[in-house]
Structure 1
Amino acid sequence: MLRRLPSWVCEATTGKDMLVSTAFVNARIYTVNPEQPWAEAMLVDGPTITAIGTEDHIRDVAPSEAEIVDLQGRMVMPGIHDAHLHLLFSGLKFRFEPRLSPGADSRQIIRDLTSCPCAHPRDAHGNEWVVGGEFFPPAVGEVDRRFLDEAFPDQPVFLYDYSIHHGLANTRALELAGVDETVADPPGGRFLRRSSGELTGEMVEQARWPVMRAIPDHPEQVSAEAVAWAVSMCHRYGITSVQEASANPQALRAFRALEQQKALHLRIAAHLVWREEGFGGASAAELDQLIENRHQWRSEHVDTGFVKIWLDGAPLPPHTTQAGLTEEGDVEKSKILVPPAELTEALTRFDAAGLTVKIHCAGEGAVRTALDAIAHVRRHNGPEGPAHEVAHAGFISEQDYGRFQELNVTAEMSPAMWHIPEYGLQDGFRFRTVLDHGAWMTVGSDWIITENPNLFPGLQGMLQHGNQAVDLTAALEAVTIVGARAIGRQDVQGSLEVGKSADFIVLDRHLFDIPIEETGATQVLATVFEGTTVYTAP
């Protein structure tokens, strides 16, 4: 039977329990397989690709009962791998929490918070917490809890700033968190104060932890709905595989709930949070226990063989907390959030256990500290351990580029806002230099910072980054097969080959034929995961 776009979705591809053959024909299939980079047609049996090649060949080998899907000459490519996003946080943020108007001042913030029919989590004492974001400090002017106290004298409020690394709490939230004027700045964090010494309510980096620990979890059903929506957004943008960069207990419970409902149509490499109590939503001891018991949370689509470490902050004003290098080339140690000896000990232990570690590094100094620790691990445990990752990898010293390939470290580029002029990050993210040094490079959206996980604008930016631009082949490899390699799934996903999972997307344009400046506007017409159509464009 022949079907045509836009109603090309086959009932046969909507049920994984039936082993049904579907022949996708009349397509331009970019396989990302160097031995067979292009094909015209593909045969899928259940969740698996069983043949790929010319249309004549596929029609010859297809069973007589096979569905025939005419893709009308559309471009097909493997499903995208997003190397860095936050499914639960993004789902809650964009579906259930108050969203602040861009550039909102204090009055607009209050209007936004009070007009939102949002789901506020309730603690054991009946307090409904207002949690939202993100405020832009220059727009607010004086960042102080006074304006929140006037509008919410009895209700706790916590707002993220635009970096997600800092926040603002009102008096009630500070009280419930046990924070008063006597509180001392923690290692790696700072409580801002008025000239009188009183707390303003603004907290930098790890100073947020007491308040964030006090925020109650949403009901598990809300978290599951948030993740389900986030997964649907991934499908909309052609993403079939992700690295969850903050797999805390709440996220893992939501993943499990969806998996049990057979509704988790996404591969998740879950980076379990180590030590970072803000993003982890639990105490350091509880997070350690989660890593210890990681196998309990593993499932068909969730791999818990990964860990996330935050080594420094964010390169965004007014609180630039990234660890750079001094003029003498030394690491800014005051901005390193994990003492190097503790980092090395943890990495050595995780590496020996076969866990792949993603290390958040915003500045050159953090990158060097991470590479130094990994170098110790390679000497101590041997060179054959997991390919650990430097997350963000936006600013790297010239002396350190060659160490990525030498130490088998993946440069995970999740630039998020690098191409927005007002943030001043355009000089970073040296894609060409990373590849010229023989390193593996992946790309992530850092969804939570961005409005959605759409990676096509980022791909366009990679093609237009001056002398740091890369060609389209390299850019597509970064979001497909290299991403699969980073999570040890290159034999299953990342390219369209016989025996691999039928994870692919249909695009509205031929990326290799269009002007570069049209790449970012690419639309996904359909997303297929394990042979099941999980998204079709309206």
Structure 2
Amino acid sequence: MKSVAIMLVSVVGFLLSFQPAHAKTHYFHNLKGYTLTGEPGNSAKLHTFSAMVVRDGKIAAVGHPDDLLAIYAIPAEQHVDFAGKTVLPGIIDAHGHMLGLGENLVQVDVRDAGSEQEAVAQVVAFAKSEPKDWIVGRGWNQENWDVKQYPTAASLDEYVSDRPVWLSRVDGHAGWANSKALELAGISKDTVSPEGGEIIRDKDGNPTGVLIDNAMALVESKLPATSQASRRQALTAAFEHLVSEGITSVHDAGVGTKTLQVYQQMAAEQQMPVRVYVMLSAADPNLPALLAEGPQTTADDVLAVRSVKVFTDGALGSRGAAMLEPYSDDPHNHGLLVTQPDEIERLYQAIIGHGFQVNIHAIGDRANRIALDTFEQTFATLGGRNLRHRVEHAQIVHPDDIPRFKELNIIASMQPTHATSDKNMAEDRIGKARMQGAYAWQTFLQQGTILAAGSDFPVELSNPFLGVHAAVTRQDRGNQPEGGWYAHESMTLEQALRAFTLDAAYAAGQEQVLGSLEPGKWADFIVLDQDPFAVSSDKLWQADILATYVAGKSVYQRD
């Protein structure tokens, strides 16, 4: 590990001469600092430091205390002693769902249920204290239950039949309704499954209560409308939760007009303690007008709008991921295309034509191939190759298509905890042969593809050190499986931290202002209770955040 004495180089005089007279300066010292520096990707270097100077919200210098104090005269009352604790750049989650997280914090959460019956019991307990007409929640996953099969409306009806119940699967690509919700949605034996969706039925053709992908809209269209005040409340709750976990920036995957308006208001009022890089929702009917406004970024880099989230397929757990060959455990099923190829092509043309980045959800190998084919075709006719387009998830990729990410300059936006969550079912779904291109982090990194890491919260828990641990060990928190799951695709600790900081910033076109603790960049950093480079890899997920700073200002301090 290379230690840097002082990262001032020849820019010291420049920085000093252009600092405003009123600039607020702080000197942070007695710390163990780590940051990736230089160009994003494989050429980035890990540097260490023991002190840093922050002026007017940005890094002025990092290095050794003696060197910094020889240059900067900073009053003692502006010194902050970190008592030898570890400092890292603020974590950037490159794929999350802010509104979903905030709502999840106040809805029934059945993530930890070990069976259908246990999930129902949690709903019943929640319903006793919930006065609203609808009972809404999220988190069920039949793959974690003792009986690994879809739940039914009947099990909910036994205890809650007078009010509609709607529970999204943990991945957000399936929903579980009771009969009251099905009735309100007009779903019966005669209802035809919509394109890109499926109504699960019993042997007699009756709806069981589970809806896949686009079929979910049949129920969700009947949910009570969310007010702007409720949106703001949810986003505020999400912000408070994320800063406590060391996350200083989020790429919000799929933002509609009304949520964007709340963000814009909160940014104007300086009420956003977390930076947000917005991916507009391709499904928003106002998308043409939003694209016409062009990419936008606030002066303080708190809010940026320059990308669009497009959906190709569903998720692996619900067998909605679009596959080139049938599912190994469902030989008549190839998954679902949520958006048809001709519509994807139309969206690419519109998005790229307005100078926006395309961030396309693709989980199955067919979906990834469609995403790449459409990029190739669009670049040939329209250009736009330099906009740093991304495939969100890139989860199951045919080995022939992995090199195309590098050839087409496509970023792989991947979520490490998906591997450790999926390890109990992925091979059942697609068979061992197709695992060659699954969760293939190291393969992407070795060919020079930029990998931006995230969590996909609230699909997964938002704690980024669960992601760092999964990336390095390919194990769950119980250290299973022994030796790691397809461990040859694991990342080094340095690669994992880079994916959650510098490379994630690059994936948003923000590496000049975020992602590392270098002079001129915003002073977004976190203080940890443990040094990730000094603990065994199985302890990485146990890191606790002592403090979170955004633009040099404390936004979280642990009690």
- Which shifted more, 290-299 or 497-506? 290-299
How do 1:251-400 and structure 2 match up within 5 A?
Answer: 251-275=259-283, 285-286=285-286, 291=291, 301-316=302-317, 319-326=318-325, 335-382=336-383, 384-400=385-401
- Which shifted more, 378-387 or 81-90? 378-387
1:326 deviates by: 2.4
Whether 2:33 is the aligned partner of 1:29: answer: yes
Identity %: 28
Letter in 2 for 1:486: A
1:390 deviates by: 0.9
Equivalents in 2 of 1:512, 1:441: separation in Å? 21
- Which shifted more, 511-520 or 499-508? 511-520
Whether 2:540 is the aligned partner of 1:519: answer: yes
Equivalents in 2 of 1:436, 1:135: separation in Å? 36
1:523 deviates by: 1.7
Is contact 1:192-1:199 (8 Å) kept?
Answer: yes
Letter in 2 for 1:449: V
Equivalents in 2 of 1:110, 1:31: separation in Å? 46
1:107 deviates by: 4.8
Match of 1:446 in 2: 456
2:235 aligns with one of 227, 230, 234? 227
Match of 1:51 in 2: 61
Over residues 270-294 of structure 1, what are the superposed CA-to-partner deviations in whole Å (9 max), with x where a residue is unaligned? 111112xxxxxxxx53555555567
Whether 2:110 is the aligned partner of 1:100: answer: yes
Is contact 1:97-1:120 (8 Å) kept?
Answer: no
1:353 deviates by: 1.1
5+ residue gaps, structure 1, are: 1-17, 123-127, 276-283
SS in 2 for 1:378: helix
Provide closer, same or farther for how the CA distance between residues 293 and 98 of structure 1 changes in structure 2, counting only shifts above 3 A: farther
Match of 2:10 in 1: none
Provide closer, same or farther for how the CA distance between residues 195 and 461 of structure 1 changes in structure 2, counting only shifts above 3 A: closer
1:334 deviates by: 6.1
Match of 1:65 in 2: 75
Whether 2:134 is the aligned partner of 1:129: answer: yes
Is contact 1:24-1:71 (8 Å) kept?
Answer: yes
Provide closer, same or farther for how the CA distance between residues 91 and 383 of structure 1 changes in structure 2, counting only shifts above 3 A: closer
Equivalents in 2 of 1:477, 1:195: separation in Å? 50
How do 1:474-513 and structure 2 match up within 5 A?
Answer: 474-513=495-534
Over residues 80-131 of structure 1, what are the superposed CA-to-partner deviations in whole Å (9 max), with x where a residue is unaligned? 110111111011112x111237335555444322332799696xxxxx2211
1:296 deviates by: 8.9
1:167 deviates by: 0.8
Letter in 1 for 2:189: E
Provide closer, same or farther for how the CA distance between residues 42 and 118 of structure 1 changes in structure 2, counting only shifts above 3 A: farther
Equivalents in 1 of 2:320, 2:553: separation in Å? 44
Provide closer, same or farther for how the CA distance between residues 414 and 285 of structure 1 changes in structure 2, counting only shifts above 3 A: same
1:297 deviates by: 10
Provide closer, same or farther for how the CA distance between residues 299 and 342 of structure 1 changes in structure 2, counting only shifts above 3 A: farther
Task: Provide the aligned length of Structure 1 versus Structure 2.
Answer: 501
SS in 2 for 1:448: coil
SS in 2 for 1:365: helix
Match of 2:425 in 1: 423
1:475 deviates by: 1.6
Provide closer, same or farther for how the CA distance between residues 118 and 512 of structure 1 changes in structure 2, counting only shifts above 3 A: farther
Is contact 1:312-1:322 (8 Å) kept?
Answer: yes
Match of 2:480 in 1: none
5+ residue gaps, structure 2, are: 1-21, 39-44, 327-332, 475-486
Is contact 1:236-1:527 (8 Å) kept?
Answer: yes
Provide closer, same or farther for how the CA distance between residues 290 and 146 of structure 1 changes in structure 2, counting only shifts above 3 A: farther
Match of 1:457 in 2: 466
Provide closer, same or farther for how the CA distance between residues 144 and 509 of structure 1 changes in structure 2, counting only shifts above 3 A: closer
Is contact 1:417-1:423 (8 Å) kept?
Answer: no
Is contact 2:291-2:354 (8 Å) kept?
Answer: no
Is contact 1:144-1:200 (8 Å) kept?
Answer: yes
SS in 1 for 2:412: strand
Equivalents in 1 of 2:358, 2:467: separation in Å? 24
SS in 2 for 1:230: helix
Is contact 1:23-1:42 (8 Å) kept?
Answer: yes
Over residues 351-377 of structure 1, what are the superposed CA-to-partner deviations in whole Å (9 max), with x where a residue is unaligned? 121111211111111111111111112
How do 1:85-164 and structure 2 match up within 5 A?
Answer: 85-94=96-105, 96-100=106-110, 102-103=112-113, 105=115, 107-116=117-126, 128-137=133-142, 143-164=151-172
1:173 aligns with one of 177, 181, 201? 181
Equivalents in 2 of 1:132, 1:395: separation in Å? 28
Letter in 1 for 2:169: D
Over residues 400-456 of structure 1, what are the superposed CA-to-partner deviations in whole Å (9 max), with x where a residue is unaligned? 111111111001111433114423469531211001111010111111112x31121
- Which shifted more, 211-220 or 415-424? 415-424
Match of 2:12 in 1: none
TM-score, length of structure 1 as denominator length = 0.86
Equivalents in 1 of 2:119, 2:349: separation in Å? 45
Whether 2:216 is the aligned partner of 1:208: answer: yes
Equivalents in 1 of 2:187, 2:171: separation in Å? 23
1:79 aligns with one of 83, 90, 93? 90
